[in-house]
């Protein structure tokens, strides 16, 4: 018997795309170790079932083409589900939208749902569904019920990545059948190109997966990071389970342990924008250690692909920008959640005014500010993602950013 837990709450939660299963593998620990490290320029293959690809096409009713960034990762051993799916695409104005879903019983099927509140027909509803099938180098099917075709293509200037998926499982009580367990998974990206910029980007990606707050602190290689994470994960779980270990001879079976003893931890890197000289990534972290639900959040970052430098909030915005950003974010919240001009923002957030988060990334058309669950609104709203167009930010941005209009924001 298996159960699938979905956490599509307001904004997309990557934990929703992962199964927690009580299946045939329940009494066997599983580990997927990273392949041996190789120079960035070496064409090392993706982990089995893990991919990052870009598709180009035109959505019905639009004159502008889009680039769909599609990432997949495999199910854990013993699951009957197929791979997890995550997508991101942007409109002609540079505003990105998040998609999530799962493969169906058919390995060629791709079903995605748009969870952006801007595309919902009404508050709380889902946006358009993408029902596609892989045909050679294309995705063919429907978008919102209308025919669509997307072709596999890497736009000029975008970066290629190797996708690495790692997973491990720790059994609480190996001597008992159907013991609860803790599961750990990491979805990482490694630049395919060589050079100093790619080396710097690779280090930043490990920092993001680790949740480091210091952008220039030394980091281990992905392999070393994974081994340390596995050790810490296993030690913490075994320590927690020691307090509930059955007495010798106790034949307690799985249902009496309760689902709350099946821990889960995820660290996923995903592409939000990929068009040189700008790269933006999200680092998603999820943890379930019992209780009503898990905790999750996405930390985002933008990078100058010419140097591999991470662009911190202080390097993006001029000093004193917070005060001017507050009304722009309030207006973005109204647009995203379809609030009337006279409606109170407290219909979505806890209280006004909306604070300025420094968790922000750039696209060619503006900036996206992300608030994690509970930061400014109830858990039911999930992550709140607010897009502020570039035209509203021009006077607030520092010069030299890798943005359009001559390639950079002009010095003032």
Q: How far apart are CA 254 and CA 265, in angstroms?
A: 20
Look at residue 26 in the predicted model and tell me its pLDDT: 33
Look at residue 79 in the predicted model and tell me its pLDDT: 56
**pTM for the full model?**
0.88
Look at residue 16 in the predicted model and tell me its pLDDT: 44
- Written in H, E and C, the secondary structure of the chain is CCECCCCCECECCHHHHCCECCCCCCCCCCEECCCCCCCCCCCCCCCCCCEEEEEEEECCCCCCEEEEEEEEECCCCCCCCCCEEEEEEECCCCCEEEEEEECCCCCCEEEEEECCHHHCCCCCCCCCEEEEEEECCEEEEEECCEEEEEEECCCCCCCCEEEEEEEEEEECCCCCCCCCEEEEEEEEEEECCCCHHHHHHHHHHHHHHHCCCCCCCCCCCHHHHHHHHHHHHHHHHHHHHHCCCCCCCCCCCHHHHCHHHCCEEEEEEEEEEEECCEEEEEEEEEEECCCCCCEEEEEEEEEECCCCEEECHHHHECCCCHHHHHHHHHHHHHHHCCCCCCCCHHHCECCCCCCCCCCEEEECCEEEEEECCCCCECHHHCCEEEEEEHHHHHHHECCCCCCCCCCCCCCC
CATH numbers and ranges of domains, the chain: 14-23+46-152 (2.40.128), 161-239+259-311 (3.30.565.40), 313-396 (3.90.640.20)
Answer positive or negative: Cα dihedral of 305, 308, 309, 313: positive
Q: What is the pLDDT along the chain (412 residues), one digit of tens a residue?
A: 332 223 333 334 444 444 333 333 333 334 444 443 333 444 579 999 899 999 999 999 999 999 999 999 987 665 545 568 999 999 889 999 999 986 665 778 899 999 999 998 887 788 999 999 999 999 999 999 999 999 999 888 899 999 999 999 999 999 888 899 999 999 999 999 999 999 999 999 999 999 987 777 889 999 999 999 999 999 999 999 998 888 776 655 555 677 899 999 999 999 999 999 999 999 999 999 998 889 999 999 999 999 999 999 999 999 999 999 999 999 999 999 999 988 999 999 999 999 999 999 999 999 999 999 999 999 999 999 999 999 999 899 999 999 865 444 433 3
Structure token digits, residue 84: 């997890």
Look at residue 77 in the predicted model and tell me its pLDDT: 61
- Written in H, E and C, the secondary structure of 226-265 is HHHHHHHHHHHHHHHHHCCCCCCCCCCCHHHHCHHHCCEE
Look at residue 192 in the predicted model and tell me its pLDDT: 95
Q: For residue 368, what are the CA distances in angstroms to 10, 63, 131?
A: 16, 24, 27
Residue 209: burial class (beta carbons within 10 Å; 0-12, 13-18, 19+): buried
Look at residue 105 in the predicted model and tell me its pLDDT: 58
Owner of token pair 């389970």: 241
């Amino acid at each position: 018997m298996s159960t699938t837990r979905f956490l599509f709450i307001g904004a997309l939660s990557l934990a929703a795309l992962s199964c927690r299963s009580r299946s045939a593998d329940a009494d066997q620990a599983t580990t997927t170790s990273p392949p041996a490290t190789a120079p960035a320029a070496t064409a090392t293959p993706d982990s089995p079932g893990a991919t990052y690809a870009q598709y180009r096409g035109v959505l019905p009713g639009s004159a502008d083409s889009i680039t769909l960034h599609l990432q997949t990762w495999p199910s854990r051993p013993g699951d009957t589900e197929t791979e997890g799916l995550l997508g991101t695409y942007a409109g002609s104005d540079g505003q990105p939208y998040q998609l999530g879903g799962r493969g169906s019983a058919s390995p060629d099927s791709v079903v995605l749902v748009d969870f952006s509140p801007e595309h919902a027909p009404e508050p709380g509803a889902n946006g358009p569904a993408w029902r596609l099938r892989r045909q050679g180098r294309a995705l063919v099917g429907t978008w919102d019920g209308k025919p669509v075709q997307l072709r596999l293509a890497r736009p000029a200037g975008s970066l290629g990545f190797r996708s690495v998926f790692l997973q491990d499982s720790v059994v609480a009580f190996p001597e008992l059948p159907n013991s609860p367990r803790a599961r750990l998974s990491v979805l990482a990206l490694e630049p395919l190109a060589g050079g100093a910029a790619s080396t710097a980007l690779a280090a930043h990606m490990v920092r993001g997966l680790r949740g480091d707050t210091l952008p220039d602190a030394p980091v281990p290689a992905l392999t070393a990071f994974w081994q340390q994470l596995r050790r810490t994960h296993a030690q913490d779980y075994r320590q927690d389970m020691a307090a509930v270990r059955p007495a010798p001879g106790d034949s307690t079976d799985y249902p009496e342990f309760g689902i709350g003893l099946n821990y889960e931890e995820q660290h996923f890197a995903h592409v939000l924008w990929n068009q040189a000289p700008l790269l933006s990534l999200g680092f998603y972290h999820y943890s379930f250690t019992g209780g009503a639900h898990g905790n999750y959040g996405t930390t985002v970052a933008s990078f100058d692909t010419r140097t591999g430098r991470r662009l911190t909030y202080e390097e993006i915005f001029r000093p004193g920008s917070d005060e001017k950003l507050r009304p722009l974010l309030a207006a973005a919240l109204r647009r995203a959640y379809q609030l009337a001009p006279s409606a109170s923002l407290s219909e979505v957030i806890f209280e006004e005014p909306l604070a300025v988060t420094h968790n922000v990334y750039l696209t060619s058309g503006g900036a996206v500010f992300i608030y994690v669950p509970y930061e400014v609104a109830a858990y039911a709203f999930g992550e709140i993602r607010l897009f502020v167009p570039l035209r509203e930010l021009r006077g607030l941005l520092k010069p030299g950013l890798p943005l359009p209009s001559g390639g950079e924001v002009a010095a003032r």
